[in-house]
A and B are shown apart, each in its own frame.
Chain A
Amino acid sequence: MRYHFAFDLDGTITTKEILPILARELGMYREMEELTKKTMAGEIPFDQSFTKRVQMLKKIPVSKVQKIILDIPLNKHVVAFIKENRNRCHIVTQNLDVWIEPLLMRIGAPYLASTADVSGDRLKGIKKILRKKIIHSVVDYPIVAIGEGFNDLEMIVDAPLSIAFGEIHKPAPAILDAVDYAVYDAQQLCLLLNRLL
């Protein structure tokens, strides 16, 4: 079986959640972090929370957001695995394409993201929030899904193999009820991924 790999972005490839870091620009870090935590645990519906969070952040010019995101530290072991196997790795995130594109270009793997409405350097709003389970119809190979937040659940339940990655955040309880594996260390994750190649 030749698996392909679908990685969540926030807290799996990045070592921090992206939206709270953006909110720091506006002095709203705590508020955003709280909202993000509750969303990841599945306590607030994702779409509603994401729309609200994007509303809060849209004052920041797109180019500035891109620059901040490029500075967020990445999980080097996970990025190295993706780079070595880029023809079989996909990044699946509900974050906005215009914000994360420079980061994703740097990593160099294909991705699926939510789409945004932009005008020049200004974000007008969300065009479409990505449904993560789409990965299973976009890729013609069985998928190993890797994530930890409640919003990863739809990609995980439909995957023939799935891994909760808990190095950065504790995986949501619903995720632990659905996955085949849980790992809490990036090198251990890569050891397992290499066995699945």
Chain B
Amino acid sequence: MSALKSIVISAAGSGSRLSFGHTKALLKIAGKPIIIHHLEQLKKFDDVRIVVGYDAENVIKTVLEYRRNVTFVFNHRYQTTNTLHSLYLGTRFARRYVVSIDGDLLIKPRDLQKFLKEKDEAMGLIKTYSDEPVCVYTKKRGKDTIITEFTRKRLEYEWTGLLQVKSERIINTGTYVYHVVQNALPFKAAFVDCREVDTPDDYQRAVEWGLKVFKK
């Protein structure tokens, strides 16, 4: 399985809206930085790429204390680019499929494991909860739910940012990841429980959620 996939964790941005001095992937939830929670779920994968930019030195140090066999990809222009640019850099020279995980997204371990087993293109959805969601139109196809279109209208489900996509689709258009993915739909929907950390309120909620989800 892992021989077909590369994993890209985007952890280049600053936590400016949180007024947190480090990048958000280093926020501690249930006693560990978010990025370590991710890596604990990725032990089976050998091609794990972490895109770094802001606070790169601290991200590298934190990761290396846990795991040495990762590839750090630099987004030196992290201040003027967004996640698509980081994902593009992380996806260059990747395997056939790439799993894209945002560094500030906490995902319930069981749901992430299930997602990592997806064989074809898929996206992680959750009941819409965030302030500025990218929502999706869905429909049933056999047992599966498929995503047919993105919208900025507030619908029942929003995209979490979690994505498995063919690497060749990730081109650097200077817009958003969902714009690039749009043309490739429909994708299979995978329902995941997760929390994004964007604002101080999010953080508080994620801390409480994390204590329940990550307790051993």
Contacts and interface: CB of A to CB of B under 8 A. Distances in A.
Interface residues of B, number: 18
Interface in A149-197: 167, 176-177, 179-185, 187-188, 191-192, 195-196
Q: What does DSSP make chain A's interface, helix, strand, loop or mixed?
A: mixed
A196 B73 CA distance: 14
B46 A177 contact: no
B68 A184 contact: yes
A187 B47 CA distance: 11
A191 B46 CA distance: 9
A188 B72 CA distance: 10
Given A191-B46, A195-B93, A176 B56 contact: yes
Given A176-B56, A195-B94, A188 B74 contact: no
Interface residues of A, number: 16
A43 B60 CA distance: 23
A176 B76 CA distance: 10
A183 B71 CA distance: 5
Contacts of B76: 177
Contacts of A176: 56-57, 74
A106 to B, nearest CB: 28
Contact of B71 (A167, A177, A192): A192
A37 B210 CA distance: 43
Interface of A: 167, 176-177, 179-185, 187-188, 191-192, 195-196
Interface of B: 46-47, 56-57, 60, 64, 68-74, 76, 89, 93-95
